[in-house]
Structure 1
Amino acid sequence: MAATEDERLVGSGEGERLDFLRDRHVRFFQRCLQVLPERYSSLETSRLTVAFFALSGLDMLDSLDVVNKDDIIEWIYSLQVLPTEDRSNLNRCGFRGSSYLGIPFNPSKNPGTAHPYDSGHIAMTYTGLSCLVILGDDLSRVNKEACLAGLRALQLEDGSFCAVPEGSENDMRFVYCASCICYMLNNWSGMDMKKAINYIRRSMSYDNGLAQGAGLESHGGSTFCGIASLCLMGKLEEVFSEKELNRIKRWCIMRQQNGYHGRPNKPVDTCYSFWVGATLKLLKIFQYTNFEKNRNYILSTQDRLVGGFAKWPDSHPAPQYIVVYSSLWVLLVVACGTLPQRGLMSSVMSAPRIRTNETLGRLQRSVRTQPLGHGASPSVIYF
């Protein structure tokens, strides 16, 4: 009897056969784009984040054909906070997370509607651009000038970024979001790069990991955000000496048990297979990790009934949690033996490659049959 699609990708467990349930994961991601259980109602203001995780998962499973790309693209553009005719809201532009404010549906590039509580969110801008790239859009309807103006308004004097112009927490997550936005738009005028670099530099902790800010505890997620930001800027080896980079590498390598944890003396958690694994790849030592143990741990967190991945075995999968993306990322890395080269959170299977067309000033996707290279798709970041 021919093997079903769910049986084609298999992890060789120790004493147990661990199957990669591909079809179930495809259906799980589809459901996340259609309807979510009531317990996820708190995600209403960040629907764009859920869409990013689901689209990234489908992209890596080479299954984007199960969704209506054009409809999703129109919905994403309707979430763009556009300048009004008098441009009085220019510093508030970007992308909002959903239609919760009741702003009229406007997927065009026409002037926006003034609303006292309407503003972009740095993570939603990053997520929105990423989704558009995943779906093959050329970003021609993105008001790049307004997005960059809104981004500049979010940078603080210490070099970090807050999420919204009204003020919020500020830390390494949003430095990473800002770096991705500038990289995707091919325009670094959206930030004071020197200040951002100094913020990353000051966030190196006593144990050689990177923290959310100066004087804080080092963490796998913030280490990825800092290192990836420097890679996107092309400044990694200028900011840290070889000795310092070796110490960062050692800190990251020491995070693996079977899966990875984000901090010393903490339990492993599926999401850190991405945060730490991607950092190790950016630092060019991913090959020294134990692929098999990591893969088997991730496979053990699958929900064998409805699909999706959880933080730990025997837990419920969470669509808003990065594991649904990072788990597949690692599984397919092990299967394909390839990884994205850039610091963007990248979908691997269809590997959208950002290329700048100097004449048109647009981002284009390379042909799907190209070898897997640096990818494009970066969302709000849950640690």
Structure 2
Amino acid sequence: MLTRDVEITAKHVQHLLLSKHVQYLQKYAVVSNESYEQLMVEYLRMSGIYWTTTALQLMDSDFDSAGRQDILSMIKTCVHPNGGISAAKGHDPHLLYTMSAIQILVSYDALNDNIIDIDKTVSYIVSLQKTDGSFMGDSWGEVDVRFSFCAIASAALLNRLNAIDLDKAIDFVMQCNNTIDGGFGSRPGSESHAGLIYCSLGCLSIAGELHRIDADLLGWWLAERQLPSGGLNGRPEKLPDLCYSWWVLSSMAIIGRLHWIDKHKLLRFILATQDDETGGFSDRPGNMVDPFHTVFGLAGLSLLSHKYSCEPIEALSENSDTNSDSDLRAQWKVISDKIKPINPVFCMTQSVIDKTNIKLQYLSL
């Protein structure tokens, strides 16, 4: 069977380009940026700001000066009378962007700054839950387990988890579980996918219901997502994509099986996706960089280098090159020193989540 993959060679970047990533991201935090590139992705603006500010915070850069007041003012223009929040001014509200806005506000410690009416936002979230426990993304009615995660995570961040019918919500999530491989799909009967597994496990972690899964079976399926290049894909026979350094690794961290991944091969893949001229990370080596892949590349590095990994940094292959091993150890040191720990459920710095009242469940092997 042919494996679809990419090749990592010595010509690819092998060191973390931290300062270049900070410079690359700072322009995206400018709300007034009206470049053609920004206007073409206006429908993603709220999430784009979340990706950018989270990445800057992970790198411990000058996070608060990254247009903080402009960003909070922009969020306020996106709040609708029903409490929902849109991607940009003039767009319709949606759970995806409501969650991104809440994540930004929590990261900036601005939930009580009168940017949103928490009661109205909670009412908006509650209004999107259906009788079977699932959530619609907006008033148009699309149902997806992603929206279940957005609703549950948003309610938790607002300290209003009791406002939704959590039991029914978790029952729906479990209906999306595929017993043949342990994974989760977007809806009952849908194909397992790493991104949807992350959303489902996030729901279960917040609700304290992780005992309902087969962690070994799911961990095996997730570990199988790693290809010879070291990169991870989202489902079988797909090319590796840097964003799965988050979706797969966070899932494995939640279920206590992160050490089933070859972290050294994955490090080489992640570093190879950097652009050594502009900064930023791309989906695969040589492709265009963007804030989406940049935050998830940094988040993946954070998971690999901090407390969620059971494998020692020094544990390298007996047959590997000595010089290469030395460089690799040096990179792990830089990463662990320069990138903050990330929370595997919320994709926010652990220090921010530590300030909340949220109790999360994790499994161990």
Q: TM-score band, normalised by the shorter chain?
A: 0.7 to 0.9
Letter in 2 for 1:249: G
Task: Give 2:253's match in structure 1, choosing from 276, 281, 293.
Answer: 281
Query: Is it true that 1:79 corresponds to 2:53 in the alignment?
Result: no
How far is the alpha carbon of 1:78 from its aligned partner? 3.2
For the 8 Å contact 1:151–1:190, the answer to whether it is kept is no
The worse-fitting range, judged by mean Cα deviation, of 309-318 and 60-69 is 60-69
Relative distance call for 1:295 and 1:342 in structure 2 (3 A) is closer
Distance 2:307 2:267 in 1: 13
Partner of 1:252: 222
The worse-fitting range, judged by mean Cα deviation, of 245-254 and 257-266 is 245-254
Letter in 2 for 1:100: G
Distance 1:223 1:131 in 2: 24
Cα deviation, 1:32-80, whole Å, max 9, x if unaligned, reads 1233752453421331111001001100011114413233223223322
Cα deviation, 1:131-163, whole Å, max 9, x if unaligned, reads 011123243523222111111111123322122
Task: Give 1:100's match in structure 2, choosing from 74, 80, 90.
Answer: 90
Partner of 1:60: 58
Q: TM-score, normalised by structure 2?
A: 0.79
Task: Give 2:105's match in structure 1, choosing from 116, 120, 132.
Answer: 132
Task: Give 1:301's match in structure 2, choosing from 261, 273, 283.
Answer: 273
For the 8 Å contact 1:329–1:347, the answer to whether it is kept is no
Task: Give 2:28's match in structure 1, choosing from 22, 27, 32.
Answer: 32
Partner of 1:210: 184
Distance 1:328 1:343 in 2: 15
- Give runs of aligned pairs for residues 153-232 of structure 1, distance below 5 A: 153-165=127-139, 167-205=140-178, 206-232=180-206
Distance 1:286 1:217 in 2: 23
Distance 1:32 1:14 in 2: 31
Query: Is it true that 1:19 corresponds to 2:21 in the alignment?
Result: no
**Structure with greater proportional strand content:** 1
Letter in 1 for 2:193: H
For the 8 Å contact 1:129–1:181, the answer to whether it is kept is yes
RMSD: 2.4
Letter in 2 for 1:318: D
Relative distance call for 1:351 and 1:151 in structure 2 (3 A) is closer
**Structure with greater proportional helix content:** 2
Cα deviation, 1:112-141, whole Å, max 9, x if unaligned, reads xxxxxxx53111110001001112324352
What's the % identity of the aligned pairs? Answer: 24
For the 8 Å contact 2:126–2:164, the answer to whether it is kept is yes
Partner of 1:328: 298
Q: TM-score, normalised by structure 1?
A: 0.75
Relative distance call for 1:351 and 1:286 in structure 2 (3 A) is farther
Partner of 1:236: 210
How far is the alpha carbon of 1:219 from its aligned partner? 0.2
Letter in 2 for 1:169: E
Letter in 2 for 1:95: I
Distance 1:318 1:355 in 2: 30
Partner of 2:325: none
Distance 2:134 2:41 in 1: 25
Where does structure 1 lack aligned partners over 5 or more consecutive residues?
A: 1-12, 83-91, 102-118, 357-362, 364-372, 375-383
Number of residue equivalences: 313
Distance 2:145 2:294 in 1: 22
Query: Is it true that 1:344 corresponds to 2:338 in the alignment?
Result: no
For the 8 Å contact 2:270–2:297, the answer to whether it is kept is yes
Partner of 1:353: 354
Distance 1:163 1:15 in 2: 44
Distance 1:296 1:36 in 2: 35
Distance 1:313 1:210 in 2: 29
Distance 1:61 1:290 in 2: 24
Task: Give 1:147's match in structure 2, choosing from 121, 127, 135.
Answer: 121
Distance 1:138 1:39 in 2: 30
